[in-house]
Amino acid sequence: MTKVLILGANGGIAGYAIDLFLKETDAELTLFLRNAGNVRKLDPYRTRVFEGDVMDMETLEKAMAGQDVVYANLAGNLEKMAKNIVEAMNASGVKRLIFINSMGIYDEVPGEKYGSILNPYRKSAQVIEASNLDYTILRSAWFTNKNEINYETTQKGELFKGSEVSRKSVADLIVKLAVTPGLEVRSSLGVNKPE
């Protein structure tokens, strides 16, 4: 049974991922978020709620105790958050990280130059890629709320394809990555709906 810590568990993708984890796997989930009151009722035997902030190292390390996988779905000071996550994972002995990021951080989107607006995403990816963790960075296209699972991936160094992807599709990939040992370890994947 895989134990998954979801950082930013109140996020849009996280909501779909939580549902898929509970429906399609036997994973146990720790939902980490700043306001525990935002969590809907879930299976109490497979989920626990941990109120905290990724910027608080002590709380973050406590939440990581005994986990197999960390899935980070965050916004804000991403570089500092990435540093805290890497440090807490190293201190806790957790190796597997799935980190949501943005398309365009390697200038891989044809015809687009996103410039400095993506610097927080670029810097967080650099922190993770410099770690010794078994990471997978997901660089998603623009999100939709379509009720579909339909996506393809590209590797770092390949041109990005497509312009959108459903949150449910990204959640499906997260669940597969979390419960499949060795899948796309130390990879940075572009994720989009095939056109």
Domain ranges of the chain: 3-192
**What is the spatial distance between Cα 20 and Cα 16, in angstroms, rounded to a whole number?**
6
E strands, 40-169, in order: 47-51, 69-72, 96-102, 134-140, 142-144, 152-155, 164-166
List, as one string, the DSSP characters of 29-40: EEEEES-GGGPP
Tell me: the pLDDT tens digits for 62-106? 999 999 999 999 999 999 999 999 999 999 999 999 999 999 999
Are residues 122 and 97 in contact, defined by beta-carbon separation less than 8 angstroms? no
What is the residue-averaged pLDDT of the chain? 95
CATH topology of domain 3-192: Rossmann fold (3.40.50)
Please say if the pLDDT value at position 113 is more than 90.
Answer: no
114 band by pLDDT with thresholds 50, 70 and 90: confident
Distance of CA 158 to the CA centre of its chain: 21
Q: What is the pTM of this model?
A: 0.96
Which is more confident, 31 or 42? 31
30: number of Cβ within 10 Å:
20
Per-residue pLDDT, 27: 97
Backbone angles phi, psi at 127, to 5 degrees: -60, -45
